[in-house]
Amino acid sequence: MKMTRILIPVMTPLALAISSVASAGPAGYAPPPPPPTQEFKIRIGGSYWSPNSDNVTFADRWLRFYDDDDYDDDYHRFRDWGAFRTNLDPDGEWGWFINAEWKPIDHWSVSLSFQQGDRHTGGSRDPWLYRFWDDDWDDDILFDRRRRGDFARWKPQTTAAYLNWYPLDPSCLIQPYMGIGINYTDFSDERLRHWGFWHRNDDDDLVFRDWDGRVNFGDSWGYTWQIGVDFTFGHDSSWLINLAAIYYDVTTDVEVDTFYRNFRDDDDDFGRFWEHRFGGDYEFDPWVFQIGVGYKFDFNW
């Protein structure tokens, strides 16, 4: 009994010392903390583009006009073209996106995204046509005939880089985020549609003369911001659903080149020639709403 009272106070600190040394490792020092975890995500899905409606002032870049001397001088009135203002109001279209995101630390990430929209059409040609409208033409009867649809078609594609902030703890299954960055937007598949003006033919009928030509949308650099959320299927799952709303600041230079050749007779003798170039700045500025699926990878430094 006396020996027990002596050994208990002695053995207790010794046991604690041995336990601490064993937990520290064979060398007797504390083990290092686990390495930080990085996260990498890939998302892909569909996106709905809603472009801005903008009133664009088109100004003449240059005009070439030729008229054979045998023709009536009345056609020289087309020399005075001047600027005109029209509305570009394209419809919304669906497209697709893909992005990759790297999250080196909690709450902060960088991402690179590519979006491509489908073909948009827009642009009223009526202000341009009215410059050739004669007072004796019946406005009511020809109203529907003059409106031949939108004059331009184009397809946008945007590449953007973001710095993103995640406010919630990484363990949460729902991860909202917001980001700001820069975007580069260019356009493809541009096409000029049914450009021309009304004209009296030899039978004194009023007909629409189609001009040949092209439309070009210049590329653009601007800012962008986004807000979105990732829904993870579970703590042990790598799959997620993504929803996001994105705004792109895009101002593009729209340039139109048109020309019309009128031949005098069946021998293709040259009669009249018009060639017109004009342009203006269009604030495309689309909102893009995306829904997609993603997959994430976790790895250590």
Task: Write the pLDDT tens digit of every residue in 112-149.
Answer: 999 999 888 877 766 666 655 555 555 544 544 544 56
pLDDT at residue 248 in the model? 97
CB 287 within 8 A of CB 82: no
Mean pLDDT in residue range 229-251 = 95
Residue 287 pLDDT > 90: yes
Question: Residues 6 or more apart from 12 whose CB is under 8 A from it?
Answer: none
CA–CA separation, 194 and 28 (whole Å): 85
Residue type, 244: A
Task: Write the pLDDT tens digit of every residue in 46-66.
Answer: 999 999 988 888 877 666 665
Mean pLDDT in residue range 180-206 = 80
Mean pLDDT in residue range 175-185 = 98
Choose among 227, 245, 234: nearest CA to 172.
234
Task: Write the pLDDT tens digit of every residue in 63-110.
Answer: 666 555 444 444 444 444 567 778 888 888 999 999 999 999 999 999
Residue 276 pLDDT > 90: no
**pLDDT grade, residue 15 (50/70/90)?**
very low
CA–CA separation, 9 and 6 (whole Å): 6
Any long-range contacts for 258-266 (C-beta under 8 Å, 24+ apart)? 258/192, 258/195, 258/211, 258/212, 258/213, 259/211, 259/212, 259/213, 260/196, 260/209, 260/211, 260/212, 264/68, 264/70
Burial group, residue 240, by CB count within 10 angstroms (0-12, 13-18, 19+)? buried
With a pLDDT cut of 90, the percent of the chain lying above it is: 39
pLDDT at residue 10 in the model? 46
Task: Write the pLDDT tens digit of every residue in 251-272.
Answer: 999 988 887 766 444 545 445 5
> CA torsion 262→263→266→268, rounded to 10°?
-130
Looking at every residue in the chain, the average pLDDT score rounds to 77
Tokens read off for 104 = 């080196």
pLDDT at residue 61 in the model? 65
